[in-house]
Chains A and B, each alone.
Chain A
Amino acid sequence: MTVHEQFAEDLALYALGALDETAGLEKHLEECASCRRELEQLRGNAALLALTTAGPKPPARAKSRLMDAIAKEPRLQQAKPSSRWWTLGWIGAVAMVAVAAVLWNQNSNLKSQVQESARVSDQQKAQLEEARRIVDTLMAKDAMHVSVVPVGMKTPPPEGKVIYSRDRSGLILMASNLQPVPPQKAYELWLIPMQGAPIPAGMFKPDAHGSALVVNPPLPAGVEAKAFAITIEPEQGSATPTMPIVMMGSGG
């Protein structure tokens, strides 16, 4: 590996957190990919030191303490796409997300503002009521599902919107006017990173209206996305996309 020799010793110290003056090296690291890779490797070498430690096992109570704490802190679950999502339809899913978001917001506020006045509570009730009205409309049995397209266009084209946050590893896909998929097949969304192979980002099937939703599929942390693509794959999913790409879009 090509490492700038003048930084070699400082990199080793930095990897251990033992370098006193870090500003100069950090400036160099911003500009030098090979030194960044070397730093990561040096941290790996240092990790070997950590792995050499041996000692008594943690006391049994530590596990029950952890599991108790976890049980008291269930996360608002955004499950990976499953057959439930596929059959639920995107309207129902959006409604669930909306209610969850409002409830989460209310809960967070209540936790942090226990001493707040009744005025805040009333405000939250009003917010919840407003969200309920939105959900009622979305879920109404008589709700019409209409795609609005330019005048003269008979069949609206398939369309998808991806909202992706690298920092949160969060992704939402809302798609409409999709063609049905053949039996034992499903659509698969792919995150195409700046570098490296496409990353699977959720399987889905359109509902009777051609709509589909994917919410927060499992994704590696901090991946910079160059584009998103959709292919048709076997129902159980694929590790690599099968050509052709049926839909694609890039950011910016």
Chain B
Amino acid sequence: MSTAAKNLERNDGALIAAVRSGSQDAMADLYDRYSSVVYAVALRVLGDAGAAEDILQEIFMQLWRNPGAFDASRGNLAPWLAVIARNRAVDLLRKRRPQTEMTETLVSVEPDLASEADRGRHVEKVRAVLKEMPAPQRNALEMAYFEGYSHSEIAEKTKEPLGTIKTRIRTGLMLLRKAVEAT
């Protein structure tokens, strides 16, 4: 991990510790750092700025109420918040009760994405892989992840066999994994 990444990680950890101590300034810093990620994910899923803003509010309020839900030893704050935003937004889209508690959300992203520079580099690589991916495979991944469809629903909508959808999704995720491993 680079020195910059270590510093940022420390800063995130220090900010979370400060939030645990009741610091509103630390909460404002975390918001400045990660609100764009959370909002972008929620907006991508819901396509509604007002609803995305509500998700943004809900997630940061939960972080304020329970900063201990984030376990720095298990991953970085950016992907963790992004996944929580995706989960909440999909639950809302599918009109279902929240499926996963914040404390149960474990995200292990390797390599480390603590630094904004590292994160940006890996994200660009992933975008490139997605762009090169066959459209049916990319669609299957996005329908599952951003629209919350189950694999049988995707099979029905795309008129493809269930097995094909399963394989596309797994190999798609493996391509994303290889993209960041090779970065």
Chain A interface (Cβ within 8 Å of chain B)?
8-13, 15-20, 37, 40-59, 62-63, 65-67, 69-71, 73-75, 77, 79-80, 169, 196, 218-222
Q: Mark B39-70, 1 if CB is under 8 A from A, else 0.
A: 11101100001001100110011001100111
- Nearest residue in A to B113 (C-beta to C-beta)? A51
Known A20-B152, A40-B107, A80-B21; contact A59-B53, beta-carbon cutoff 8 A: yes
CB atoms of A80 and B167 under 8 A apart: no
Known A40-B106, A220-B68; contact A20-B151, beta-carbon cutoff 8 A: yes
Give Cα A50–Cα B173 distance, bound, in whole angstroms.
12
25 A-B contacts (beta carbon < 8 Å): A11-B170, A13-B169, A18-B144, A19-B151, A20-B150, A40-B108, A41-B108, A45-B176, A50-B37, A51-B78, A51-B123, A53-B37, A55-B43, A58-B35, A58-B56, A59-B49, A62-B53, A66-B57, A70-B24, A73-B65, A75-B65, A218-B16, A218-B21, A220-B73, A222-B71
Q: Does B8 touch A at the CB level, under 8 Å?
A: no
Chain A to chain B: the 9 pairs with minimum beta-carbon distance, closest first: A50-B82, A12-B170, A18-B144, A44-B109, A47-B79, A58-B39, A169-B68, A16-B144, A53-B44
Q: Which residues of A contact B21 (CB under 8 A)?
A: 77, 79-80, 218
Known A13-B144, A19-B150, A67-B28; contact A50-B75, beta-carbon cutoff 8 A: no
Q: Which residues of A contact B16 (CB under 8 A)?
A: 218
Q: How large is the interface on B (under 10, 10 to 19, 20 to 34, 35 or more residues)?
A: 35 or more
- Nearest residue in A to B28 (C-beta to C-beta)? A67
CB atoms of B22 and A75 under 8 A apart: yes
CB atoms of A12 and B22 under 8 A apart: no
CB atoms of A9 and B167 under 8 A apart: yes
Q: Please provide the chain B residues from 2 to 16 with a CB less than 8 Å away from any CB of chain A in the complex.
A: 16
Give Cα A82–Cα B129 distance, bound, in whole angstroms.
49
Give Cα A13–Cα B170 distance, bound, in whole angstroms.
7
CB atoms of A41 and B110 under 8 A apart: yes
Tell me how far the C-beta of A173 lies from the nearest C-beta in chain B, rounded to whole angstroms: 17
